[in-house]
Amino acid sequence: MKIFKFFPIFLFFIVFSCVSSTKNEYLEGQNLPKFAIAIHGGAGTILKTQMSDSLEAAYIEILSKAVTAGHDILSTGGSALDAVGVSINILEDSPLFNAGKGAVFTHDQTNELDASIMDGATLNAGAVAGVMHIKNPIDLARSVMDNSPHVFMYGEGAEAFAKDQGFNMVEQDYFYTQARYDHLMRVKATEEQNSTLFEKEMLPNNPAEMFFDPILKASKYGTVGCVALDQNGNLAAGTSTGGMTNKQFGRIGDAPVIGAGTYANNQSCAVSATGWGEYFIRGVVAHDISAMMQYGGFDLEQSTSTVIDKKIPELGGDGGVIAMDKHGNISMRFNTPGMYRAQIDTNGLLKVGIYKSDTLLTK
Ligand code: ASP
C-alpha cells in the first residue's frame, strides 16, 4: 500500500517539526519557565555620608548571599515559599537588620518579633506577632500557615504553638546587640526631650509630629522581606521584623498584617513592605498594589508608584516595597533616602542597591 511507502517520510517530518519547534521555542526562551527573586532589608534614612566603606561592603555581601540562597532554591525547581523562607532566614540571622538576631528593643528593653508569609497560589497565609523566643519568626509564620487552621497568632499562644511544632526556643539574650541597645537609649532620650517641649506647647499639637525627629524616625525601619516567582508560576511573599524601637503597649506594625506588609496572589503580584507601619496598615499597602493590578488593570510599576509615591506620603507616612508580578517583573519603590535591596531577575542577573540614587550595582 502506498501509505506504507511514504510512512517513513511522514515520520521524519513529524519528528523534525517537533524537534525544530522545541528548539526554536527554546532558543527564543518561550518555553523556559521563568523565575526570579527580590529582597529588602528595610527602607529609611540611609545615607552614603553616614555609612563607612566596610559597613557598606558588609550590607552588600549579606544581601547578595540572601538573594542567591533563595535563587538557588528556585533554580533547582523549589517553591517560591521555600525560597522566601531561606532568604529571610539569612537576613534574620544577621545583626545588621531589624529582624531575628538584629531586632530592635521595645520600651521595656525586650525584643518582640513579627512576621508573615503568603502563598500566591492558594491565598493561604501565616503570621505571628509579639513573639519573644523564636530565632526565625518567618519559619513560625510558615508553620502557622502549613500546620494550623489559623492565619494569625500572637504572643504566648504563638509560642505555645511553636513548642508543639518542635521549634527550639531561644532566650531573650540571643537578640541583644549593643547597637540596638544604644539606639533605644538615644530614642528614649529624644522622646523625653520632645515630650517636655510638647508639654510646654513648644511642639505642634499632633503627637505624630513628634516623630519627625530624625532619630525617632530612623527608629522605625530595618525590616526584611522577600518576594519570589517559582518555575511553576507561583508567587510568594514574606516579611519579618523587630518592629519599631521603643514600641510599647504591645504595638504591632504592618509586617505581620496580611494585606498591609505582605501579600501574594498569582493573579497579580507578590509584595513585601517596609516603613512606618502605622501608615502601611492604614493604607493597606500590599493588597492595594495587588488590587490595582487585579481589578484596575494597572501594571506593577504603576501600582507600586501610586501607593508609595502618592498614597502613603499623602497620609503622612514613608517607606517602600518590593513587588513582583507573575511574569517575574520586579518593582522596588521607596520614598525614603534609601532601601537595602537586592534582586536576581528572570535573566539571572544579580543586582544590589542601598541608596536612592543607586542604579543597582550589578555583581
Ligand atoms: N514596618 C515595620 C513596622 O512598622 C518597620 C520597618 O519596616 O522596619 O513595624
For 100-145, how does the pLDDT look when each residue is reduced to its tens digit (9 = 90+)? Answer: 999 999 999 999 999 999 999 999 999 999 999 999 999 999 999 9
Any ligand 1 atom below 6 A from CB of 220? yes
Q: What is the mean pLDDT of the chain?
A: 88
Length of the chain (residues): 363
What separation in Å is there between the alpha carbon of 5 and the centre of ligand 1?
Answer: 74
Domain assignment of residue 209, yes or no: no
18 and 102 share a domain? no
Give the residue whose CA is nearest to atom 7 of ligand 1.
274
Any ligand 1 atom below 6 A from CB of 254? yes
Q: How far apart are CA 50 and CA 52, in angstroms?
A: 7
- pLDDT of 220 strictly over 70: no
pLDDT at 205: 54
| CATH number of residue 68's parent domain | 3.60.20.30
pLDDT at 102: 95
Mean pLDDT of 320-340: 96
15 and 99 share a domain? no
Give the residue whose CA is nearest to atom 6 of ligand 1.
221
Does residue 97 come out as left (phi exceeding 0), alpha (psi in the -120 to 50 range) or beta?
Answer: beta
- pLDDT of 26 strictly over 90: no
Give the residue whose CA is nearest to atom 4 of ligand 1.
277
142 and 257 share a domain? yes
pLDDT at 194: 72
Domain assignment of residue 194, yes or no: no
Name the residue range of residue 70's domain. Answer: 36-176+214-361
Domain assignment of residue 206, yes or no: no
Which pairs count as long-range contacts for 164-173, CB under 8 Å and 24+ apart, including other chains?
A: 165/140, 167/134, 167/139, 167/140, 167/143, 168/135, 169/133, 169/134, 170/133, 170/134, 170/135, 171/133, 172/110, 172/111, 172/132, 172/133
What separation in Å is there between the alpha carbon of 19 and the centre of ligand 1?
Answer: 52
Any ligand 1 atom below 6 A from CB of 247? no
What separation in Å is there between the alpha carbon of 340 and the centre of ligand 1?
Answer: 14
152 and 244 share a domain? yes
160 and 133 share a domain? yes
Mean pLDDT of 180-186: 92
Any ligand 1 atom below 6 A from CB of 339? no
Number of structural domains in the chain: 2
Domain assignment of residue 205, yes or no: no
Domain assignment of residue 182, yes or no: no
CB atoms within 10 A of CB 326: 19
pLDDT at 51: 84
Q: Which atom of ligand 1 is nearest to the CA of 276?
A: 4
pLDDT at 192: 81
Domain assignment of residue 310, yes or no: yes
Q: Which atom of ligand 1 is nearest to the CA of 221?
A: 8
What separation in Å is there between the alpha carbon of 325 and the centre of ligand 1?
Answer: 23
Which residue would you say has higher pLDDT here, 155 or 190?
155
1 and 76 share a domain? no
Any ligand 1 atom below 6 A from CB of 239? no
Q: Which atom of ligand 1 is nearest to the CA of 278?
A: 4
Give the residue whose CA is nearest to atom 9 of ligand 1.
243
Q: Which atom of ligand 1 is nearest to the CA of 222?
A: 8
Q: Which residues are catalytic?
A: 223
Give tens-digit pLDDT for 239-255: 999 999 999 999 999 99
Q: Which atom of ligand 1 is nearest to the CA of 244?
A: 9
What separation in Å is there between the alpha carbon of 165 and the centre of ligand 1?
Answer: 27
- pLDDT of 28 strictly over 60: no
- pLDDT of 223 strictly over 50: yes
- pLDDT of 13 strictly over 50: no
297 and 282 share a domain? yes
Instruction: Give pTM, 2 decimals.
Output: 0.87
Q: Produce one character per residue of 280-298: b if its CB has 16 or more CB atoms within 10 Å, e if not.
A: bbbbbbbbbbbbbbeeeeb
> Which residue's C-alpha cell is 545615607?
47
Domain assignment of residue 107, yes or no: yes
145 and 23 share a domain? no
40 and 21 share a domain? no
Domain assignment of residue 186, yes or no: no
pLDDT at 197: 61
Any ligand 1 atom below 6 A from CB of 266? no
45 and 26 share a domain? no
24 and 119 share a domain? no
The answer to whether residues 127 and 141 touch, using CB atoms and an 8 Å cutoff, is yes
9 and 72 share a domain? no
What separation in Å is there between the alpha carbon of 303 and the centre of ligand 1?
Answer: 21
Any ligand 1 atom below 6 A from CB of 245? no
